[in-house]
Structure formats: C-alpha cells, structure tokens
Amino acid sequence: MGIEYRKIGDPTEQQIITTLATRVMGWTLSRNELYWHIDGEIQATSGWNPLQNIADAWMLVEKFKNETDPITRAKFAVSLPAVIYSIEPSHICYAALQIIEEANDRT
C-alpha cells in the first residue's frame, strides 16, 4: 500500500468523489451536498465516500453492471484487478474515472 503521492493538478479526493457521484451515479450536487431521488424522495449522501468505503465503491460496480452499453460495461470490468478479493475501494473509483474519461475522449 504505502503512501500515495499526488501531482500538482491531480484531482483531490473530494473532486473524485463528486465526479463519480455526478457522472457515474447520476446524482445532483446542491449546496455542496450530493443528493439523489429514491422512490420520489430526496436522499442526502454527504457521507458517501467510495474511496474509503467498500459498500459505497460497490455501488459503482453495480451501476456499471447495469450499464446498457456492453462496451462500457466490459471496459469497466477489465479495469478492475483480476483478484476480486484484493480490491480496495479506490481501485473501483479509479476504474470508473478511467471509463468516464475515455467516454469524454470519444465525444
């Protein structure tokens, strides 16, 4: 594991979380708090942190698993480590970021 170093210009953890919440999960940012609709109700997700919480990161996996575009779904699956038991929440987040960045490059 060790220390992870960021380069100047690399996104902060909060920027990564916000990008994943809005671009992957489809949630909306309002007053610096993420929220989404479930059964017609607004649910706050200010504590959502897929970089540190495996349950939150697994929500990204579920979202891509239900992706209708088979190419995007396959690319995400290939981006994950081969040994599922060694997955850290951050692995899932960086795989999701890679896929949405590639999608941006195609548009």
Distance CA 61, CA 64 (A): 5
Question: Bigger pLDDT: 47 or 82?
Answer: 47
The residues, ordered by sequence, that sit 6+ positions from 3 with a Cβ below 8 Å of its Cβ are none
* Domains of the chain, start order: 13-106 (3.30.2120)
Can you state the angle between helices 54-65 and 70-79, rounded to 10 degrees? 150
For residue range 17-67, what is the model confidence (pLDDT) as tens digits?
Answer: 889 988 888 887 766 566 665 555 676 666 889 999 988 888 898 888 888
Res 82: pLDDT: 67
Torsion angle (degrees, nearest 10) of CA 75, 76, 82, 86 = 160
Res 52: pLDDT: 92
Distance CA 93, CA 26 (A): 15
- Whether the predicted pLDDT of 1 surpasses 50: no
Res 51: pLDDT: 92
Res 36: pLDDT: 64
Distance CA 107, CA 103 (A): 7
Length of the chain: 107
For residue range 83-104, what is the model confidence (pLDDT) as tens digits?
Answer: 665 677 888 888 899 998 888 8
